[in-house]
Structure 1
Amino acid sequence: MFSKIVETSYQIEKIKVLYIDSDDDYIESALEILKNYFENIVVSTSSDDATLNLEKNHFDFILVDIKISNYAGIELVKKIKERYEDVLIVFFSEFDSHDYLLESMKLEVDGYIFKPIDLVQFNTVIEKITDKLSCKFQLLNNVNYLNQYVDIVDNSTIISKTDIDGNITYVNDKFCNITGYNRAELIGKSHNILKYKDNPDEFYKDMWRTIKVEKKEWHGIIKNVSKTGKIYYMKATIKPLLDTDGNIVEFIAFRDSLNLILDDKKHLLNKIELNKLSLLILVQIQEFDMLEKFYNIVKVDQVEKTFASNLVSYLPASFIFEDVYTLGDGRYALLTDYRNFEKLEINLHDYLEDFVKNVTDSILEIDGIEYDLNIILSYSCGKYSLYEDAKAGLEVAIAKNKVINYSNDSSIKINQEAKKNFEIIKMVKIALDNYKIVSYFQPIINNRTKEIEKYESLVRLINENGDVISPFDFLNVSKKGNYYNKITSRVLENSFKMLDFVNTKLSINLSALDIEKEQTREEIFTLLDKYKEQNNRIVFELLEDENVKDFRSIKYFIKKVKRKGVMIAIDDFGAGYSNFERLLDFEPDILKIDGSLVKNIEKDDYSKNIIETIVSFAKKQNILTIAEYVENETIFNLLNEMGVDYSQGYYFGKPEALEKKH
């Protein structure tokens, strides 16, 4: 990550603001606030004057009265957006400007400030604008720095590039030096020219699956052989480079030379004996015996070896241990000359905490199965009884569920988060195995008739004690393992079965993560074919997500299911205006109004006005609206008066178990 290069004072000097308003009173008030943020402000009191100013100067940020000369503000912004793609625009608007707001939504501006001026709301919007401009200036500077960084990296790291078939297209001088080959001998050749004969085929299959099929970054230790036959180890990072459509263009690999030895206890003790002062760290995979209960011995052995191969890559970059030893039963040792570590003036405990965090944050994937591993550490410094002390410390740490233990120090930190996550994953696995991932159903009523016309399917987990667990307590953690898609599969199965017991429509939540997974899409279409006579009773609720990776596959999925009669709803709509373009692409049948707006409408005019705007827009587009979080009669009556079509919330019914319905 690049550091923050642009200082605030530098930003203020560079930012040029154009403020367009014909109301002298508001100009004076707004300028007082704007001058707290910007130094270079130009005021225009008409659309024509603003056009002249735009021709003479480049502006970074434009604040424009939406109603200036009737629709002139809207038309002016249309022209600005066509001509100046990178300018940020905020509309000044009164609360009752519904028609103007509807028109402005299509322009995808960067914010709204409402009249009369609310200082908190005004400052919030302006601060967001300054943040965006700060990012823009940082980007320009970073491009300049990036070119310099490329030269630094090329001179300090072993680098190669290959095409999509694995043929070498580029190597730097350091690569040639360590391999013993010159460029002419390497370019156009496969990396197999460096392959050590005893490396397992599974190792390379895993690497290629990661970078070519999954298009992810791969980290690991590679054992290679040079032109002269010398064996050497490399700590490697291989990354696929993608074009804007997500297609792999080439692969780039960064390597650091390592003297890595995966050895046993005898060699470890010999190495300690040879050195006068050593730092020894013992590493234990937390609850390793639990893996043996879940998986067979072959798979556990594979996990142990793969973790060993990746262990060095989890170490903080500030210091890499040269020697790693496997001791069996998920236990490893790291050894180094303590003086080498001490020279770097690194805080050892902080270093080990980062090491533990790196392991916790990573996912070890083998043959499509993801392992969310955590570790416990014990460390000791010295020469005599070093291994015995560290081993005793590790046993204490394991017994007390402690993460880092110095064998001669009683201060030990407990990694409660790691333990909790492991317990959640274990709970989810048990629930899946015992069909305790269930669906609860919450009614959605027609505001006009007050009759139930739909149910929304909501996932729940029943634990071993019979307690009903909310998705808030397990769904996010499940995404770290290989269980999230299994949960989705169970929810789909439960929901479609419900079609045989109710006559209403059924709403099923789908995330971008669900739709982007090919296996989940195939399962959905299999169920739709099985229940083809009931497809018109299915509604898929899509949660707005700015982190969508494969937007085209989602659009294609929507078109395909709609052709089968399925309805599409956009969940949590109204949190921002940025979703308008996506809304047009999705062509939804239903908008579910964001609950944070609904629950505030009794007191908050802003929320009320936004909902009225959404309803007005939806009716013009023949889109139905559903309000969530309808908790009382007052909220329901207000929504009904606004023209919202459906309501969902505790006022009409809580989510209930399947068997309670019919």
Structure 2
Amino acid sequence: MVNNISILKNITILYAEDEEALREITLNILVGFTKKQYVAKDGLEGLELFEKYQDQIDLIITDVNMPNMNGLEMIKKIKEINPNIPIIVTTAFSNTEYLLEAIDIGVDKYILKPIDMKKLLQIMGQSLLYHELKDLYIDKLTNLPNRNKLKKDITDNNDTLMALVNIDKFSNINDLYGESNGDELLVQFALQLKSMFSSTIYKIYRIEADKFGVVTQDTSIQLDDFRNMCIEFAHDIEANSIQIAEHEIDINVTIGIATGADAYKFTQRVITYAKNKLEQVMVYDDSFNIQEDIEENIKWVKKIKNALKESKFRAYYQPIVNSQTQTVYKYEALLRYIDEDGSAVSPMLFLDIAKKAKLYPKIIIVMLTEAFELIKAKQKRVAVNISFDDIISIKTRQKVMQLLENNQEHTSMLEFEILESEQIDDFNAVIDFIKDVKKYGCMIGVDDFGAGYSNFNMLTNLNIDFVKIDGSLIRDIDKKQNQQIIVNTISRFSKEFGFNTVAEFVSSEEIYNKVKEIGIDYCQGYYFDKPISYEEI
């Protein structure tokens, strides 16, 4: 029994009990034997705590008869989230049928009230030992240890040297070849990892669907040697297809490497850096300022939520002028956050965070509402950016269409700019959106054309009115011949198909003259004016 209880010191439990006196007595005992405790007064609160802290919770102890949601209902919902979590029920009843239901939904053990604390601790230890040998720590598909086992193995280990291996765009493989072939690929990929990283020196884990961990068990392994092995593995994977049935499947990987007690957390972050910088293998270092970034992200999420509630988002408007006459043709609505001191903050600081926090769909509605205010009050033509995510979101699209319906007499003055720099996976959705908004007389353009890979064929398949050329091609066009050739090509192509062209980032007379010489129809940039407020127009 001593061995069973000794394993409790490193676990986190969720304890649900509605009877206050019993809850306090039991909790006082558990505090002395377990690392951390989350406590709930009923099943609903227990479920909410599990949803919030599921990555930390190792075991659940719950009463059955509780208000709001009983213990068995809570267990059913928790098992849908994590079928492998160990669960012990405490009950005042010994009804066989009742207990059989608990067993059917995945309860490991039960203990009758009044609770014998010594027996409860013993049962907890037995349950954990049982699950350690089964699904709690093993990935069923690859039979590799899973994320739970990784976190257990590296807890408080300051010498951890770890690589996180991410299969790039694995969801595309499932879409192309089917999930069964995708599963088989993961099995084969796990075997290749085992082949490269010897089990006597390294331990391999499957952490998520397309993420694997490699951790050194030999503390004498040097970081540079480990990095070179990861580079070699990445190159081998890229050079050799994986054979699944009759399919030869090509894959690429991105690998993040980190050391120390927080290696797992840092490898997750460095993967993102590596992908942004198009590097296949990257080692984390302190210059990444992870904690500062996280704190800044959390601060901005709160700011964005408050801004949506308190109307602190505003549209600022940058004029777009006729290249020949320099008269203002329309304004582009640009998002700004109005800070406490009244200053306008650029979206560069918060837009990506808004998208990751699923708050961006609300912002497009704010921008459209602001645009209609300018159109109505000052009879100005306004262009608003819309993302591919906005277009494919049924909820967002319905709200956009409702705004157009409610402002039909003004929609002919509204234009949409679809961001070409974003990945568009469903052109039919974009085509349908263009048809729908054109019914209201809106004009449609493609923004950021020329940023990265640009598809001329896409332009011919979309019923658009204009193309906005990305600022990266305009910024030094007066000095760089290659950029002049590319912009001239876009201009001639657009004229052939009847699109107007807009050059952004026109910041000097020299750039303006070159853009005008090439024949671009409209210009936008600081040479003409910065983004200005509604009141300044």
**What is the TM-score of this pair, normalised by structure 1?**
0.43
Query: Counterparts of 1:596 and 1:440 in 2: how far apart (Å)?
Result: 22
Change (3 A) 1:197 1:227: closer
SS at structure 1 position matched to 2:262: helix
> What's 1:554 paired with?
430
Change (3 A) 1:201 1:519: farther
Pairing of 1:341-352 with structure 2 (within 5 A) = 345=219, 350=259, 352=261
For residue 355 of structure 2, the aligned residue among 476, 479, 495 is 479
> What's 2:402 paired with?
526
Pairing of 1:453-472 with structure 2 (within 5 A) = 453-472=329-348
For residue 617 of structure 1, the aligned residue among 493, 512, 515 is 493
Query: Counterparts of 2:436 and 2:483 in 1: how far apart (Å)?
Result: 35
- Deviation by residue 1:589-646 (Cα, 9 ceiling, x = unmatched): 0011121222222111221122222222211211111111111223222222222111
> What's 1:646 paired with?
522
1:354 correspondence with 2:248: no
Instruction: Give how far 1:582 is off.
Output: 1.4
Letter in 1 for 2:263: D
> What's 1:437 paired with?
313
Query: Counterparts of 1:424 and 1:361 in 2: how far apart (Å)?
Result: 21
Deviates more, 1:575-584 or 1:557-566: 575-584
Change (3 A) 1:427 1:587: same
1:570 correspondence with 2:446: yes
Change (3 A) 1:486 1:255: farther
Instruction: Give how far 1:204 is off.
Output: 6.2
- Deviation by residue 1:384-405 (Cα, 9 ceiling, x = unmatched): xxxxxxxxxxxxxxxxxxxxxx
Letter in 1 for 2:303: M
Query: Counterparts of 1:229 and 1:200 in 2: how far apart (Å)?
Result: 8
Instruction: Give how far 1:545 is off.
Output: 3.7
Pairing of 1:368-383 with structure 2 (within 5 A) = none
Identity %: 31
Query: Counterparts of 2:372 and 2:142 in 1: how far apart (Å)?
Result: 48
- Deviation by residue 1:452-486 (Cα, 9 ceiling, x = unmatched): 11000000111223332111111112222132222
Q: Is the 8 A contact 1:236 1:254 kept in 2?
A: no
Pairing of 1:183-582 with structure 2 (within 5 A) = 197=72, 199-203=74-78, 207=81, 221-222=84-85, 232=131, 234-235=135-136, 345=219, 350=259, 352-357=261-266, 415-545=291-421, 547-575=423-451, 578-582=454-458
- Deviation by residue 1:140-185 (Cα, 9 ceiling, x = unmatched): xxxxxxxxxxxxxxxxxxxxxxxxxxxxxxxxxxxxxxxxxxxxxx
Query: Counterparts of 1:466 and 1:454 in 2: how far apart (Å)?
Result: 26
Change (3 A) 1:237 1:602: farther
SS at structure 1 position matched to 2:520: coil
1:591 correspondence with 2:500: no
Instruction: Give how far 1:572 is off.
Output: 1.6
CA RMSD of aligned residues (A): 4.2
**What is the TM-score of this pair, normalised by structure 2?**
0.52
Q: Is the 8 A contact 1:235 1:255 kept in 2?
A: no
Q: Is the 8 A contact 1:223 1:234 kept in 2?
A: no
SS at structure 2 position matched to 1:618: helix
SS at structure 1 position matched to 2:330: strand
Instruction: Give how far 1:500 is off.
Output: 1.0
Q: Is the 8 A contact 2:331 2:381 kept in 1?
A: yes
Query: Counterparts of 1:423 and 1:462 in 2: how far apart (Å)?
Result: 15
Q: Is the 8 A contact 1:544 1:573 kept in 2?
A: yes
Deviates more, 1:449-458 or 1:632-641: 632-641
Instruction: Give how far 1:547 is off.
Output: 2.6
Query: Counterparts of 1:603 and 1:359 in 2: how far apart (Å)?
Result: 41
Instruction: Give how far 1:563 is off.
Output: 2.6
> What's 1:657 paired with?
533
Pairing of 1:88-103 with structure 2 (within 5 A) = none
Letter in 1 for 2:470: D
- Deviation by residue 1:201-255 (Cα, 9 ceiling, x = unmatched): 54467x5xxxxxxxxxxx78545868998565744999xxxxxxxxxxxxx9778
Instruction: Give how far 1:575 is off.
Output: 3.7
Instruction: Give how far 1:521 is off.
Output: 0.6
Letter in 2 for 1:354: A
Query: Counterparts of 1:530 and 1:564 in 2: how far apart (Å)?
Result: 11
> What's 1:296 paired with?
none
Q: Is the 8 A contact 1:222 1:236 kept in 2?
A: no
Instruction: Give how far 1:427 is off.
Output: 2.2
Change (3 A) 1:448 1:234: same
Q: Is the 8 A contact 1:597 1:607 kept in 2?
A: yes
Query: Counterparts of 2:300 and 2:512 in 1: how far apart (Å)?
Result: 37
Query: Counterparts of 2:356 and 2:375 in 1: how far apart (Å)?
Result: 32
Instruction: Give how far 1:414 is off.
Output: 7.6
Query: Counterparts of 1:640 and 1:602 in 2: how far apart (Å)?
Result: 11
Letter in 1 for 2:499: I
Change (3 A) 1:557 1:632: same
Query: Counterparts of 2:220 and 2:342 in 1: how far apart (Å)?
Result: 49
Q: Is the 8 A contact 2:315 2:333 kept in 1?
A: yes
Q: Which has the higher helix share?
A: 2
Letter in 2 for 1:421: N
Q: Is the 8 A contact 2:509 2:527 kept in 1?
A: yes
Change (3 A) 1:260 1:253: closer
- Deviation by residue 1:339-385 (Cα, 9 ceiling, x = unmatched): xx9967599x93532343478799xxxxxxxxxxxxxxxxxxxxxxx
Q: Is the 8 A contact 1:235 1:257 kept in 2?
A: no
- Deviation by residue 1:524-581 (Cα, 9 ceiling, x = unmatched): 1011101112222111101114633433322221222123221111112234664112
Deviating beyond 6 angstroms after TM superposition, the runs of 4 or more aligned structure 1 residues are 226-229, 252-261, 278-281, 341-344, 358-362
Change (3 A) 1:433 1:616: same
Q: Is there any run of 5+ residues in structure 2 with no aligned partner, and where? A: 1-70, 88-102, 110-130, 158-201, 208-214, 222-257, 272-288
Instruction: Give how far 1:585 is off.
Output: 2.0
Query: Counterparts of 1:581 and 1:445 in 2: how far apart (Å)?
Result: 28
Query: Counterparts of 1:509 and 1:523 in 2: how far apart (Å)?
Result: 15
SS at structure 1 position matched to 2:415: strand
> What's 2:507 paired with?
631
Query: Counterparts of 2:83 and 2:355 in 1: how far apart (Å)?
Result: 23
Pairing of 1:13-24 with structure 2 (within 5 A) = none
> What's 2:114 paired with?
none
Letter in 2 for 1:474: F
Q: Is there any run of 5+ residues in structure 1 with no aligned partner, and where? A: 1-195, 208-218, 239-251, 262-277, 282-315, 322-340, 363-412
SS at structure 1 position matched to 2:378: coil
